[in-house]
Chains A and B, each alone.
Chain A
């Protein structure tokens, strides 16, 4: 009985606060190659979602830094670039400035709604959210983000995980 109540409470809580994976799933985003995003594969490591567009100057400025961050952390970090932009413009920009993480597209209204859901009520770009390995939001950035800011957060998170592992 008690176990069931706990389960129910957990489910309710989960329903109230959807994980970023569920949010991404609902937005039905596609990769540049037009295949759907497998949001389940994102679980278990920190996730950075970066909303951008090719017409947004500060976005263009920060993307090489995000690519460097991805290189640095390799398999231990997922970065997703979500473009509020036309496919052709995105492709043209990425040809000039390639990035090593997936860039996703979708319909504007859907992406806009997703962005607001993830805390960007003012809908300005760039906008970046960092989630921990459990899908909890750690930080959000309006405007140009710097790799050091994200790195500091990721490092302290890794340190926290290590100390947790030691105790166990």
Chain B
């Protein structure tokens, strides 16, 4: 009997222990899973050393050492993030994939080995002892097995669509709804806030219910046009996303926002001709929701507007729809996405209308002017593809530009024997220009790409040749970075969307041994 009692005395705290664990050891990664290093020879004396750092883990900059033949190599570190450690003060850490350049005083070969020492922690409050790894300089990761599952091959580039859409329709749609909610907290939707507010603020003394319904109608317009865009892409296989980024479309929108801003400043009042107005008023009296139609159209326009900002998730969805031809699932998915995105706007709709009556006339004017400024900024933002390229430095000479499949083939033929990077680019694509300005000129990137032949596939014109290029790679639009190996074979791995320098370097395919 007493044995049982003793057992119980032990069991009770053990049961409590489940909650007492500071860190759940089951979800914790081993250090070799949390930090996966690889090294690649850039040229005879420069090595690009990279770590893939798992989410929720970080490496200490000060604790990174690279040595060859027992000699420490000089390192060029990228800037890290300053972490305020309660004991060590401000220390620089790398919470994401990191790439640095090591300089060797001696000539090296890809088969040479270097030794890396590094140390990091989990945000959850666990630190790992210093890790020492010996690597060859051919870009291969030191670890296999479990590490292989986490994939050295681009984890962030292309979402795993098979898994994502594998579940039931309800789960898929739920996920899209959540994704939409998430997207609504990104800067993508900021331009929509003044629009919603304009619609609601423009109306004097409307009920909260009505303003909510108006906003809802607006969101429906947005959501349905997303659904339509998805289905249209599936049905036609045309480059919808690209078409919407055409300069004249962009210019139209920018102009529209400038007009709206001017109206807010009181330059003129946005009013329809009185005959038309009374006509609409009559129509409005007959239909309880006279304004819903216009607001709905506004929603449609807004969907088009924020589309390019959300290129990566849209590309994934459109790719899936295009491949499966499943119009219903695809359309509904994008519809859920837009509903999720629009949900926070409902708050603005309801809140804006209820708070306004309490504001005085001068405050009201100030608010209007404030919105005018925001609308002007939105106009500038919308027009970004038009002015941003003018700021860009002249197209870097390191790129060889091709505009058709034939030209690309010829360039690839010439580059045989060297690895090739193809940068799918367009003048009107903001992310492409960012790549041009921020990533390619980066010294670490330049080093890492030294051996590569850089080809720019320019699809600015969006003509048949350009569309052919995109179709050839199964792309919906720029930016995308593709790789060919020395034998002229296209790598499966590709990078879609803007890539900061470290991500680009980490995303380079491992070179098969020569």
Cβ contacts under 8 Å, B361 to chain A: none
B138 to chain A, nearest CB (A): 28
Q: Establish whether residues A122 and B127, one from each chain, have CB atoms under 8 Å apart when the complex forms.
A: no
Q: Establish whether residues B9 and A143, one from each chain, have CB atoms under 8 Å apart when the complex forms.
A: no
Q: Establish whether residues A121 and B30, one from each chain, have CB atoms under 8 Å apart when the complex forms.
A: yes
Q: Establish whether residues B10 and A152, one from each chain, have CB atoms under 8 Å apart when the complex forms.
A: no
Contact stretch, chosen from B21-29, B196-204, B281-289: B21-29
Q: Establish whether residues A163 and B6, one from each chain, have CB atoms under 8 Å apart when the complex forms.
A: yes
B479 to chain A, nearest CB (A): 38
Q: Establish whether residues A160 and B9, one from each chain, have CB atoms under 8 Å apart when the complex forms.
A: yes
User: Quick check: is A157 within 8 A (CB to CB) of the other chain?
Assistant: yes
Contact stretch, chosen from A7-15, A27-35, A41-49, A134-142: A134-142
- Given A144-B22, A152-B13: A56 in contact with B127 (beta carbons within 8 A): yes
Which residues in chain B, 21-60, are within 8 Å of chain A measured between CB atoms? 21-25, 28-31
Q: Using a Cβ–Cβ cut-off of 8 Å, how many residues does chain A contribute to the interface with B?
A: 39
Q: Establish whether residues B127 and A139, one from each chain, have CB atoms under 8 Å apart when the complex forms.
A: no
Cβ contacts under 8 Å, A125 to chain B: 126-129
- Given A123-B31, A124-B28, A163-B2: A143 in contact with B23 (beta carbons within 8 A): yes
A89 to chain B, nearest CB (A): 12
What 0/1 pattern do residues 14 to 38 of A give for CB contact below 8 A with B? 0000000000000000000000000
Cβ contacts under 8 Å, B12 to chain A: 156
User: Quick check: is A149 within 8 A (CB to CB) of the other chain?
Assistant: yes
A123–B63 Cα gap in the complex (Å)?
18
User: Quick check: is A104 within 8 A (CB to CB) of the other chain?
Assistant: no
User: Quick check: is B88 within 8 A (CB to CB) of the other chain?
Assistant: yes
Q: Establish whether residues B14 and A164, one from each chain, have CB atoms under 8 Å apart when the complex forms.
A: no
**Residue picked from B9, B17, B29, B129, most chain A C-beta under 10 Å:** B129
User: Quick check: is B267 within 8 A (CB to CB) of the other chain?
Assistant: no
User: Quick check: is B20 within 8 A (CB to CB) of the other chain?
Assistant: yes
User: Quick check: is A167 within 8 A (CB to CB) of the other chain?
Assistant: yes
Cβ contacts under 8 Å, A145 to chain B: 22
- Given A61-B86, A61-B87, A160-B5: A138 in contact with B129 (beta carbons within 8 A): no
B26 to chain A, nearest CB (A): 9
From B2, B5, B16, B127, give the contact of A57 (CB < 8 A): B127
Cβ contacts under 8 Å, B125 to chain A: 58, 143-144
**Interface CB pairs A-B, < 8 A, 27:** A55-B127, A58-B127, A59-B127, A61-B87, A120-B25, A121-B30, A122-B30, A123-B30, A123-B129, A124-B28, A124-B122, A124-B128, A138-B14, A139-B14, A139-B20, A142-B23, A142-B25, A142-B126, A144-B22, A156-B9, A157-B10, A159-B9, A160-B10, A163-B5, A164-B6, A167-B1, A167-B2
Besides A57-B121, A132-B10, A143-B126, 4 other A-B contacts (C-beta < 8 A): A58-B125, A139-B17, A143-B125, A156-B10
List the 10 shortest-distance A-B pairs measured between CB atoms, nearest first: A143-B22, A143-B23, A124-B126, A160-B9, A56-B127, A167-B2, A142-B25, A142-B23, A143-B125, A122-B28
B interface residues (Cβ-Cβ under 8 A, vs A): 1-2, 5-6, 9-10, 12-14, 16-17, 20-25, 28-31, 63, 85-88, 119, 121-122, 124-129
